Amino acid sequence: MSRLPLIGVTACTKQIGLHPYHIAGDKYVRAVADGAGGLPLIIPALAELLDSSNLLDNLDGLLFTGSPSNVEPHHYSGPASAPGTLHDPARDRTTLPLIRQAIEAGIPVLGICRGFQEMNVAFGGTLHQAVHDVDGLMDHREPADEPLEVQYGPRHPLQVQPGGVLDGLGLPREIMVNSIHGQGVQRLAPGLRVEALAPDGLIESFSVAGAKSFALGVQWHPEWQVRSNPNYLALFQAFGEACRERARQR
């Protein structure tokens, strides 16, 4: 019997009481196990202590998760963040180099929300820090005072671009997705291919052109109740199959 692929899930740092913790959302680790069919392994934000080469040698895939925090803008030469913006420099130091190393090593990668934004920054792109303040763009934030089922419910259609990874999964040309983000892609990094667009033209998904394996970023949250949405599930199943292929090769 073949073993389950070992899929790293990036952690954020959070102070709880007097102690710092490394945490990953339940919905992400569940989606890796239930949607991708993998064994999730939470990767702490310890760039200075992790041997990334050793880590990657032992992984079959990497999921870069969403987060309440934003990438620090100095990583993409952006202006200072608005007062009160939550950052996680320990995560930045861990994930930004790890993204390029993993893709160069042919390890399947899926980036979600912050992970999607991290992928763009890691390859040299820039971010809108407040999409809702940009002329011509929609407010992509969730209604904060609504229950989770409403926050993560379908919010807007998405135009899947022909000839790409998402199109190759058999997704319809237009799908409905949730929308839970304040930041977004401003300038797409070189080497990234647009996979899907929101109605206002904001990039909602890209792939890494020429990657040796699955390398996709999405701005929405397909991990949410992944088994109940066939389009979300198709994405995780494709990621999981790429991870299984790497496990077989290893």
Q: Quick check: is 221 catalytic?
A: yes
Burial of 138 (0-12, 13-18, 19+ CB in 10 A): middle
> Do 169 and 176 form a contact (C-beta atoms < 8 A)?
no
Catalytic residue among 140, 204, 221, 243: 221
Q: Quick check: is 223 catalytic?
A: yes
Of 194, 189, 124, 198, nearest to 155 (Cα)? 198
C-alpha 76/C-alpha 233 separation (Å) is 32
Catalytic residue among 72, 181, 223, 243: 223
C-alpha 194/C-alpha 190 separation (Å) is 11
Q: Quick check: is 113 catalytic?
A: yes
Question: Which tokens is 13 given?
Answer: 């740092």
Burial of 33 (0-12, 13-18, 19+ CB in 10 A): middle
Catalytic residue among 72, 113, 118, 204: 113
> Do 209 and 23 form a contact (C-beta atoms < 8 A)?
no
| Radius of gyration in angstroms for the set of CA atoms belonging to the chain, rounded to a whole number | 17
Which of the residues are catalytic?
113, 221, 223
